[in-house]
């Protein structure tokens, strides 16, 4: 993986682990939109957010107890709480309410603005300076986002403008989550940050716990499987693997890899849900892939 600032991957073995962790994260996050679409057939956006965070917290806390994970200190809890509120409360709420008005494939394309937003914030607030090749790759990736946005406007006129703005709010929340998380990972482990921040998010979502529990016995099995899958795989596992990546690569470089998520998500939506995005979506996906290749092409 290309690393231009921040911590440097010190060995070939660690570099392989970073790539493996990034690949796991990308595949699991690409599957979010399909599972979310099925979950929202029965549960409200707030109930889905709570159940997803609850299942994820149960898995992470159980693992933390097995490995005897130390808890953050008083000051560290403040950073962890910010990560939890932004990443596990605001982000899922914006995402879930937004997807009520936008299809799964298009949702993933709008959330794809996250790498561009993260890069801008990383340059402004973290002092990161991507290489010229990486900057070009980020610009190309953003071009793919613009093409996909145009495709949404042309081919998805049924999508609500409110839904699109909510999803852009989700992308901004996610970018802030990644940036604060990267700073915190300099002092805490990936497991500490992910486990404790997700717990904070679960606490914030408790107002939806009662209605979620009432709805559970009446939900079809496939919806129960979908919401449990959201909590265990794209949440507990993927957020932990992503924290591992962020701890070892600059935020701007690492998050650009997420441009691959909507490419896979659209493919899944076409194959599983039968969605048919406009042809421009495929062009935008190709441009995005080219941008990711450029960013990762600079070796240290």
Are the C-beta atoms of residues 292 and 256 closer than 8 Å to each other? yes
CB-CB contact of 95 with 275 (8 Å):
no
Three-state DSSP state, 103: coil
Mean pLDDT of 134-145: 76
DSSP state of 101: T
- Count the Cβ atoms, other than its own, within 10 Å of residue 26: 21
The pTM of the full predicted model, rounded to 2 decimals, is 0.79
Between CA 6 and CA 141 the distance in angstroms is: 22
Q: Average pLDDT, stretch 91-107?
A: 85
Contact present, 234 and 28 (Cβ < 8 Å): yes
With beta carbons less than 8 A apart as the criterion, state whether 146 and 293 touch: no
Three-class SS of residue 100?
Answer: coil
Distance of alpha carbon 110 from alpha carbon 114, whole angstroms = 8
Q: Give the integer Cα–Cα distance in Å for 294 and 5.
A: 17
Amino acid 296: pLDDT:
60
> Would the CA dihedral through 118, 122, 123, 124 be positive or negative?
positive
R_g (Cα) of the chain, nearest Å:
18
Structure-model confidence comparison of residues 73 and 263, the more confident one: 73
Cβ neighbours of residue 132 under 8 Å, at least 6 residues apart?
Answer: none
Q: Confirm if 121 and 175 have CB atoms less than 8 A apart.
A: yes
Q: What is the mean pLDDT of residues 259-266?
A: 78
Residue written as token pair 């796991």: 24
| Burial tier of 194 (Cβ tally within 10 Å: 0-12, 13-18, 19+) | buried
Q: Is the pLDDT of residue 298 over 70?
A: no
* Chain centroid to CA 93: 13
How many CA atoms within 13 Å lie on the side-chain side of 254?
30
Q: State the average pLDDT over residues 67-79.
A: 91
Q: What element of type H or E holds 257?
A: none
Q: Which of 34, 27, 285 is nearest to 145 (CA)?
A: 285
Question: Residues 43, 215: contact at Cβ < 8 Å?
Answer: yes
169 and 79 Cβ atoms separated by less than 8 Å: no
Q: What mean pLDDT is predicted for residues 11-17? A: 76
pLDDT for 4: 40
Residue 243's closest CA among 24, 81, 16, 8? Answer: 24
CA-wise closest residue to 227 among 66, 79, 56: 56
What pLDDT is recorded for position 252?
61
Classify burial at 189, counting beta carbons within 10 Å of its beta carbon; exposed 0-12, middle 13-18, buried 19 or more: middle
Question: What whole-number distance in Å separates Cα of residue 262 and Cα of residue 115?
Answer: 12
Average the pLDDT over each of 34-43, 163-172, 238-247, 256-265 and give the range with the smallest value.
256-265
pLDDT reading at 300 higher than 90: no
């Amino acid at each position: 993986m290309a690393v231009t600032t921040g911590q440097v991957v010190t060995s070939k073995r660690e570099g392989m682990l970073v790539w493996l962790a990034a690949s796991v994260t990308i595949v699991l996050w690409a599957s979010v939109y399909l599972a979310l679409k099925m979950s929202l057939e029965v549960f409200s956006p707030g109930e889905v957010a709570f159940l997803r965070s609850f299942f994820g917290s149960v898995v992470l806390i159980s693992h933390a107890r097995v490995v005897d994970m130390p808890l953050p200190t008083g000051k560290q809890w403040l950073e962890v709480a910010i990560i939890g509120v932004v990443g596990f409360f605001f982000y899922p709420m914006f995402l879930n309410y937004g997807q009520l008005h936008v299809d799964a494939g298009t949702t993933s394309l709008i959330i794809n603005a996250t790498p561009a937003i993260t890069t801008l914030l990383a340059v402004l607030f973290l002092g990161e300076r991507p290489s010229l090749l990486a900057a070009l790759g980020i610009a190309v990736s953003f071009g793919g986002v613009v093409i996909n946005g145009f495709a949404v406007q042309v081919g998805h006129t049924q999508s609500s403008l409110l839904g699109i703005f909510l999803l852009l709010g989700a992308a901004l929340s996610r970018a802030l989550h990644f940036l604060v998380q990267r700073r915190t990972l300099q002092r805490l482990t990936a497991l500490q940050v992910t486990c404790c921040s997700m717990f904070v998010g679960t606490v914030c979502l408790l107002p939806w716990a009662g209605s979620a529990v009432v709805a559970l016995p009446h939900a079809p099995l496939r919806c129960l499987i979908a919401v449990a899958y959201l909590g265990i795989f794209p949440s507990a596992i993927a957020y932990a693997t992503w924290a591992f990546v962020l701890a070892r690569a600059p935020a701007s470089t690492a998050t650009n890899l997420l441009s691959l998520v909507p490419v896979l998500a659209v493919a899944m939506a076409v194959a599983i849900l039968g969605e048919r995005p406009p042809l421009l979506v495929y062009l935008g996906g190709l441009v995005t892939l080219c941008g990711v290749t450029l960013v990762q092409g600079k070796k240290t």
